[in-house]
Structure 1
Amino acid sequence: MKTYVLKFEAPLPRDMSALESAFYDHFDGLLAESFGRLLITVYMDGHQNGAMAAKCAAFEIDKNLDVMVTRIDRDLVDAAEIARRIDRSRESVRQLIQGERRKGEPFPTPVGSPNGKKIWEWSTVNEWLRSHVPGVGDSECGLTRDEMAIVDNWLLRWGTLSRDQHVGLEFYEITAPAGLREELHVRSSRVSEAWVASWNRGSRVVRSGPLSTVKSC
């Protein structure tokens, strides 16, 4: 199984020192403050994909720290930061970006270019580096862009809907032991119906189809 590095945003706590003590008692990772927000980095393994790992991590953070994470941090990087992280010169990274050193699949598309300065999500760049430049890049996996969107939507739903609108089984499945999955599978039809009902507000249907192709663990 892959090891995922997951970086969440959360509101700043009133007592950072107390939170740090509790965090390092329960997690392998890092807490940091950045521009008035709390960044929580945790490592998770034993999951089939990044979205499942992120859901489990968010659940564990809430349970152990009483902190509700709000979204996935994109960990944006420019060419200079990529060069720093992989210990290469800026010219070497520029050649990778321009396709001058590696033929085949092009370098990932940037997510933006403010004032002409291209930026990327580090997880996307890191995955490309592992596949195309042997020995370069972090060994841990990040989330794909699609997985980030899935997890952000899930967190928004979790953080904004009232508790009685949550689908209890869906959150229970996040940390269910493997031995219970067969039992949970038997009830999957009821879960699908509850998913739809939980997205209704009054008589207005928010969405009537499946919410995600990613199964909870």
Structure 2
Amino acid sequence: MKISKEDLELIEKIKNYRTDQNQMDVINFKNEVLEKQNHELKNALKTLQSEHIDRNKLLNDIKKLKNENNNLKEKIEKSETKFDFLMTSPQSVRSVYGEIKNYLSKVEKKVLVCSPWITYLMEEFDGLPENINFKVITNFRKEDIEAGITDIDKIRVLKKFGADIRYNNNLHAKMVFIDSKIAIISSANMTGRGLRINYEAGVLIKDKKIVEDSIKFFKGVWKESKPLNPELITNYVSD
């Protein structure tokens, strides 16, 4: 059977159509794959953006909480009482003695004491941490020792507890400093009557600047005072 030219052209067109159709199917399949991948990428990008936003929000919330915490601390510090009135009497509840004992039990680095007369020591002096900066300024006069208002044995005990002691016979201030944070300034000497019996009055100071200024005064007196060494005590006793 003879195939006409027209039939041959038709057959060729059908072959080309099928080829084109196969190519279109491949292209369509690839497009579907690409569209799916594109959709997945868009979703992943949205997730990343969401996580980034959540992270930034979290960081902002943390920053806000820190600021609120700092503001709260400032308010608490401002609301805290910087000064407390202290007194000593046979009936007093919050006494100079009680506050000194309380803060000595919490000391970490430093104890500074000014007391013209010393005849009474708190047990907390015996339990001070090692390597504490412990300094004492007192008077050291023959008439005071003979009158019993300066006790040489107590001074020896203080040195045994690690105190660096100096004397200044012009001293009249009565002060105790704990860790550069607390100052107790009062009329009470470190004597049994001064701390527990007499009518004495003073102030407990927590204000940082005033405590620092008071310690500067202590340092000035310390600088002008003389070391009370064992030889001086021994020489006095032998006299």
Place the TM-score, normalised by the shorter chain, in its bin: under 0.3
Structure number having the greater helix percentage: 2
Q: Which has the larger radius of gyration?
A: 2
**Normalised by the size of structure 1, how large is the TM-score?**
0.21
